[in-house]
Amino acid sequence: MNNCLSLRRHNVCMVSDFFYPNMGGVESHIYQLSQCLLEKGHKVIIMTHFYGDRKGVRYLTNGLKVYYLPFPAFYNQCILPTIYITFPLVRNILIKEQITIVHGHSAFSTLAHETMFHARTMGLKTVFTDHSLFGFADASSILTNKILQFSLADCNHVICVSHTSKENTVLRAGLDPKEVSVIPNAVDATMFVPDPSKRHPGKITVVVVSRLVYRKGMDLLAGIIPDVCQTHPDVQFIIGGDGPKRILLEEVRERHELHDRVKMLGLLEHRKVRDVLVQGDILINTSLTEAFCIAIVEAACCGLQVVSTKVGGVPEVLPPDLIYLAEPNDQSLREELERAIADKRAGRNVPPFMAHNRIKLLYTWRDVAHRTERVYKRVADLVERETKERLSRYYSCGPLSGKLFVIAAVLNIWFMCFLQIFQPRQKIEISPELQRSHILKSNANQKNSKEEQRSQKRTLLECEDSLTNGTSSKILRRSNRKRTKSKEEL
């Protein structure tokens, strides 16, 4: 069956407002999944809005094609929701690239929802991955949930990153649980490798790598830092990240005179996260809501013990001996952090490289790509829904909102007919494909040459070690004989 999966080729469009050069969990997920799908022989492109001077078409590693569309960010790095303005350009790209499956990411992404809506109007299959948890009571959550219900009413399949996230999404969007799969995030274990030599001797370093916002529990962090520093003189904090709550943390540091104990690094690029993590002994995550939390997996992969709030999908992520779970309040977090500090002093924590090897086997992007590939096969085999069934799905979203959704869907169908008249599908030029086999082969050759260089270096190092340890006296005697012989000849 796996061979059948790998033989079937899909043309996939990953779409989200969040992508490189912006860095985060969603961005990393899209990039790593796309690379693994390319490796499996599928065609993958990415669609996002422009960032600064990064506009038009760009190519990333292994020929990954990215469309930076000319739509500016309106709020929180998302484009202005217009529904119809994006249709002409999106339709042109989907036809040009011969896309068969549109894969949207993040419930916050306006571009993802609009592109999936247009794709269903064009008769393409759609998949959506939800990376977040939402509430049900506040006004913003109610509005977001209603938009999500509209977007997923006609979606072919939904993926969530944890079982808790699945329950949340099913309730928010009113979905059939059979149409929702759970595929967790993963970590690049070759990038997040422990390095105990970077740790601070005589100190216990607690690391925080997060966006400094309310949802990430920065108020809780500000409440426990002074008490922990007062109780444990050998504990220091390194905080990486930026956001509106940074001012609060700086005020706490200033008020309690902790400039030498609390280091603020500001905004971090993703490639520098590992350099920060390997300096720490413990990572603390104070999130108030979390679907998966890739940060704690990266920290455990670097050999850190993890202290985290027991919220959302966090309890599903790590084995019990790698994480200390606390309730989302000051007292519980402080107690669990002090327990982790005591275990660190007593040497009861899991050795860094042992933790790394366990995480490396638990979470791999190739496994995520394989499971996503199975979803694509299932979606591709589905019978296309008729227009009447699509409209009935929108109509069932609510007594008032359902009627509005039906009107929006009908207008989108008319708009597509209008575009077909003025820009027929037959006149849109098909984009030529790169010879990905040559790209992958050259990358493999480069990888093999690097491995050969590493093996040569290891051999040289082993020879040097053997010489210094006196275990190769024969080699030394042979070299001495050669020297004396050359001197006699001279």
The model's confidence at residue 469, banded by pLDDT at 50, 70 and 90, is very low
Residue 94, pLDDT > 90, answer yes
Please give the average per-residue pLDDT across 407-412, as a whole number: 95
Residue 183, pLDDT > 90, answer yes
Average pLDDT, the chain: 86
Long-range contacts of 23-29 (CB under 8 A, 24+ apart): 23/269, 23/270, 24/211, 24/270, 25/131, 25/185, 25/292, 25/294, 25/295, 26/105, 26/106, 26/131, 27/270, 28/270, 28/294, 29/105, 29/129, 29/131, 29/185, 29/294
Say which range, 94-98, 384-388, 454-458, has the weakest mean pLDDT.
454-458
Residue 316, pLDDT > 70, answer yes
Q: What six digits make up the tokens of 428?
A: 């849109």
List phi, psi (to 5°) of 120.
-65, -35
> 321-335, 425-439, 461-475: which has the highest mean pLDDT?
321-335
- Express as a percent the part of the chain with pLDDT over 90: 64
Q: What six digits make up the tokens of 47?
A: 């669609």
Please give the average per-residue pLDDT across 12-24, as a whole number: 89
Listed in sequence order, the residues at least 6 apart from 11 whose beta carbon sits closer than 8 Å to its beta carbon are 42, 43, 97, 98, 99, 100, 101
Q: What is the pLDDT of residues 253-311, one digit of tens each?
A: 999 999 999 999 988 877 788 999 999 999 999 999 888 888 899 999 999 999 999 99
- The CA dihedral of 256, 257, 262, 265, to the nearest 10 degrees, is 110
Please give the average per-residue pLDDT across 12-29, as a whole number: 88
Residue 487, pLDDT > 50, answer no
Q: Supply the pLDDT for residue 488.
A: 54
Residue 251, pLDDT > 70, answer yes
> Which DSSP string corresponds to 399-412?
TTHHHHHHHHHHHH
Domains of the chain with bracketed CATH? 2-186+366-486 (3.40.50.2000), 189-362 (3.40.50.2000)
Q: What is the pLDDT of residues 57-75, one digit of tens each?
A: 999 989 999 999 999 988 8
Q: Supply the pLDDT for residue 143.
A: 83
Other C-beta atoms lying within 10 Å of the C-beta of residue 478? 10
Q: Supply the pLDDT for residue 476.
A: 41
Residue 460, pLDDT > 50, answer no
Please give the average per-residue pLDDT across 25-34, as a whole number: 90
Please give the average per-residue pLDDT across 362-376, as a whole number: 94
Residue 463, pLDDT > 80, answer no
Element (H, E) at 390: helix 387-395
Q: Supply the pLDDT for residue 208.
A: 94
Please give the average per-residue pLDDT across 348-354, as a whole number: 91
How far apart are the C-alpha atoms of 276 and 267, rounded to whole Å? 12
Q: Supply the pLDDT for residue 144.
A: 82
Element (H, E) at 172: helix 163-173
Q: Supply the pLDDT for residue 24.
A: 75
Please give the average per-residue pLDDT across 10-35, as a whole number: 90
Reference 49, options 102, 114, 100; nearest CA is: 114
The model's confidence at residue 456, banded by pLDDT at 50, 70 and 90, is low
Q: Supply the pLDDT for residue 437.
A: 54
Residues present in the chain in total: 490
CA distances from 229 to 206, 232, 277, 333, 335 (A): 11, 5, 20, 14, 13
Residue 477, pLDDT > 60, answer no
How far apart are the C-alpha atoms of 372 and 390, rounded to whole Å? 25
Q: What six digits make up the tokens of 370?
A: 């394989």
Listed in sequence order, the residues at least 6 apart from 220 whose beta carbon sits closer than 8 Å to its beta carbon are 286, 288, 309, 328, 329, 330, 333
How far apart are the C-alpha atoms of 94 and 73, rounded to whole Å? 22
Contact 31, 297 (CB under 8 A): no
Please give the average per-residue pLDDT across 312-322, as a whole number: 91
Amino acid at 351: P
The model's confidence at residue 485, banded by pLDDT at 50, 70 and 90, is low
Say which range, 48-62, 175-189, 377-391, 436-450, has the weakest mean pLDDT.
436-450
Residue 455, pLDDT > 80, answer no
Reference 2, options 369, 324, 381, 396; nearest CA is: 369
Residue 207, pLDDT > 90, answer yes
